[in-house]
Amino acid sequence: MAYESLRERGLIKPFRAEPRQISDRLGLARRDIETARSISNSDWAYNIAYNAMLQAARALMFAEGYRTSGGEGQHKTVVQFAELALGRTFEEEIRFFEKMRVKRNRAVYDIAGIISETEARQAIEFAMKFISIVEGAL
């Protein structure tokens, strides 16, 4: 099973999602894209674009019958799950998702103003692409 390593480490657990829960996550992702586009602060636009990707990846988890187990490291677990679910075809996209996760953490908890306008725009564009990839996988 593709997700067995995450289950064995207690990072994910089985979860029977209702179709509405999956579509709600995608709705959150789309909302976040629109919000990120309207935010003038680059740090927060980046953060919101990242959250859009996180919600899309959570929709993918739900559709596959899993959710994170809770505790620390949930975002990292979601990225790892997306990597397993989407496979090598989307290796570059997963690498960018992980890079965004790390940088978003620094922007939220450590250093204000580290995200440039260009990075924020690229993050929004990438998040839109990632959501489309997830929708195609569902």
35-86 pLDDT tens trace: 999 999 999 999 999 999 999 999 999 999 999 998 889 999 999 999 999 9
Kindly state whether residue 24 falls inside one of the protein's structural domains. no
Domain range for 58 is 41-137
* pLDDT value at residue 87: 93
What confidence tens digit (pLDDT) does each residue in 18-30 have?
Answer: 999 999 999 999 9
Kindly state whether residue 90 falls inside one of the protein's structural domains. yes
What average pLDDT does this structure show over 111-136? 97
Kindly state whether residue 103 falls inside one of the protein's structural domains. yes
> What is the domain count for the chain?
1
Kindly state whether residue 124 falls inside one of the protein's structural domains. yes
Kindly state whether residue 22 falls inside one of the protein's structural domains. no
* pLDDT value at residue 72: 86
In whole angstroms, what is the distance from residue 83 CA to residue 29 CA? 18
Kindly state whether residue 46 falls inside one of the protein's structural domains. yes
